A and B are shown apart, each in its own frame.
Chain A
Amino acid sequence: MSGEIAQAFAQAKARGEGVLVAYAMAGDPDLPRSVDVFAALVEGGADVLELGVAFSDPIADGPVIQGAAERALKAGSTLKRVLDEVVPAVRQRCPQTPLVIMTYVNVIMAMGEARYAKLARERGVSGTILPDLPPEESASLRATFDAEGLDLIPLCAPTTPPARAQAIAKEGRGFVYCVSVSGVTGMRAELPPDLSQRLELVRSAAPVPVVAGFGISTAEQARTLSAHADGVVVGSALVRAAHTEGPAAAKALCADIKRGLRR
């Protein structure tokens, strides 16, 4: 276990807050300016940063993050460059904030699982989320990550049967990412009514904190969910704000959502 993620959750809890995991795409609009976006998210109150690394075929992502991935690829973003250029710069500006990489398994395979785990850890990455790597395919990668102290953060879906959800939760590292809706990433006006029960079920089985993500874009949604989860992930809404209005808008949205997470 990396330790940094657990510490961030513990500190938020001590302040009486739910954790805000804030996502942006590394390399959107280009590598240096995406560092400004990440720093703005932390200034706005993000407790954990999720750095998207673009993949050409993002099957779990909706149009907003697909667009960000296309821009990042055009700007020359690669996993290697994110680890060499974005991660160290963000670490320097936000030394207290744990960093998590979110990408697709093919990007990790192309670098080599062991090489990635070692390099990511050296650069100061705490965890990794791979939305196309379900538990059946993850055993060897998790062992490789464990050996380096890099957390492989699992996902749990609304369609996951209860026993399977508990099994996923038990193997959690860093935190468990509960996908709130059946679908791709992106903002939703309404979240499913049975989400709170699902979160409590996963929470009861997980040795690590549990967060809800996909579809969350407002302080009100964050407030509702924080009663049943240790935090929320916000992605598309922040990516859109940063893209259309710049880092300051993303910072303001973070601050607004963070208000919803204060108990």
Chain B
Amino acid sequence: MTTETVAGRFGRYGGRYVPETLVPALQELEEAYAAASADPAFGEEVARVLREYVGRPTTLTPARRLTEAWGGANVWLKREDLAHTGAHKINNTVGQVLLAKRMGKQRIIAETGAGQHGVATATACALFGLPCEVYMGALDVERQALNVFRMRALGAVVRPVESGSRTLKDAMNEAMRTWVSQVSDTHYVIGSAAGPHPYPTVVRDFQAVIGRELRTQALAAFGGLPDAIIACVGGGSNAIGVLHPFIGDASVRLVGVEAGGHGLETKQHGASLTLGTEGVLHGSRSLVLQDEDGQIQEAHSISAGLDYPGVGPELAHLAKTGRMEVRVATDDEALAAFYEVARLEGILPALETSHAFARGRELARELGAGKHLVINCSGRGDKDVATISARGVPPPVGVKA
């Protein structure tokens, strides 16, 4: 089942809106990716690295105490937080860096918001011996010190971007500008299922390992497909990865949760599927937070990974056609969910992931007992401890003062 209507188009969305200088490189990437996809040896190499190095398959964990607390469907967690580097991002960077090597590229550039994609790219570059430069908004460099250190420790160069809002969208602009000037020997590893064709397809395919594993694991664990799968949506790489293999299964509800930030009425959010309008950002046509003059608005989320005013074109198509339900969780709801999961399951989820958990209770109750709800636990929350602890820690549970 595919939602790709023609190459690189998902209904009205997708395409390749880039400077002419980049078009030949994108065509080269498209051809190289098609050849690699048709080559069983390439697929086997990716699968081997995911197994031996990343630690796949990641487990499907029954969340018994959440199930009990929420009083509805059986809750299961797809544990991408257990993948090497602590998030799903590595699935894509391993694939793309192997593809870049196959294409004979000499160096790698990437953009990053929270730093998870930057760390995953730096990791793959260290593993395969390629130099790596990561563009990161100067504001994000300040608030994600741990990941900046991890990238540098892994041998990457971190380039702070001072233009615009100094966040992810500006990092992506600068990475594209750099790519335009060094396109012949450089591969640009985009981390979201966004950007110009073929990136939304390439990233989705490398991330779809999440959903494929889940399918097998669900059949083994409870003898059927999940009744609903829920994932957070920023650019959308973990969501499209876990949801895509189930698009053709009408019985499976697909739910995406966007960043509500300070609330949808405040304009300080990242809810591009809910409130965005059609536009072109970073090379593809999709739903974008913009003003009536076509200027891109700054997004806001407590989680740097959801702090993005666009969304991948395939998710925009799935949302607009109604195949995917879209919900929103605010900063405060995500924080509350972080502690709920920490204290009921012993897992510190990333703030991005906490948005998916924040809508878990209502969905579990809508489904009801005996049904199966899978939450994509896209990453671990260690990177967020400074942000979260700055707001104070709730008192311990069940301990006398």
Contacts and interface: CB of A to CB of B under 8 A. Distances in A.
Contact of B295 (A56, A61, A157, A161): A56
B181 interface: yes
B294 A110 contact: yes
Interface stretch (B20-28, B86-94, B350-358): B20-28
Given A109-B279, A159-B183, A183-B181, A134 B293 contact: no
Interface stretch (A32-40, A72-80, A241-249): A72-80
B398 interface: no
Interface string B287-314: 0101011111000000000000000000
A109 B278 contact: yes
Interface in B110-151: none
Interface in A204-251: none
A65 B281 CA distance: 19
A141 B294 CA distance: 17
Contact of A157 (B17, B19, B281): B19
Interface string B308-350: 0000000000000000000000000000000000000000000
Contacts of A132: 17-19, 280, 283
Contacts, number: 122
Interface in A173-204: 179, 181-184
B279 A110 contact: yes
A161 B20 CA distance: 11
A184 B177 contact: yes
A158 interface: yes
A84 interface: no
A88 interface: no
A159 B24 contact: yes
A69 B345 CA distance: 49
A60 B177 CA distance: 6
A55 interface: yes
Contacts of B18: 59, 132, 134
A56 B164 contact: yes
Contacts of B209: none
A106 B177 CA distance: 18
A80 B278 CA distance: 19
18 contacts: A55-B295, A57-B296, A59-B282, A105-B17, A109-B278, A111-B294, A132-B17, A132-B19, A134-B18, A137-B16, A157-B23, A159-B23, A159-B24, A159-B25, A160-B21, A181-B181, A182-B180, A184-B180
Contacts of A59: 18-19, 173, 176-177, 180, 282
A80 B20 contact: no
**How large, as a class, is the contact surface on chain A?**
35 or more
Nearest to A181: B181
A184 B180 CA distance: 7
Nearest to B279: A106
A157 B293 contact: no
A155 B163 contact: no
A155 B19 contact: yes
Contacts of B24: 157, 159-161, 164
Contacts of A159: 20-25, 183-184
Given A134-B16, A136-B16, A161-B24, A60 B279 contact: no
A217 B119 CA distance: 40
B169 interface: yes
Contacts of A254: none
B23 A136 contact: yes
A205 to B, nearest CB: 15
Nearest to A161: B24
Contact of A137 (B17, B164, B173, B182): B17
B241 interface: no
Given A55-B295, A107-B294, A160 B20 contact: yes
Given A160-B23, A160-B24, A109 B281 contact: no
Nearest to A63: B163
A179 B21 CA distance: 8
A106 B281 contact: yes
A155 B180 contact: no
Nearest to B18: A132
B381 interface: no
B133 to A, nearest CB: 16
A1 interface: no
A179 B19 CA distance: 10
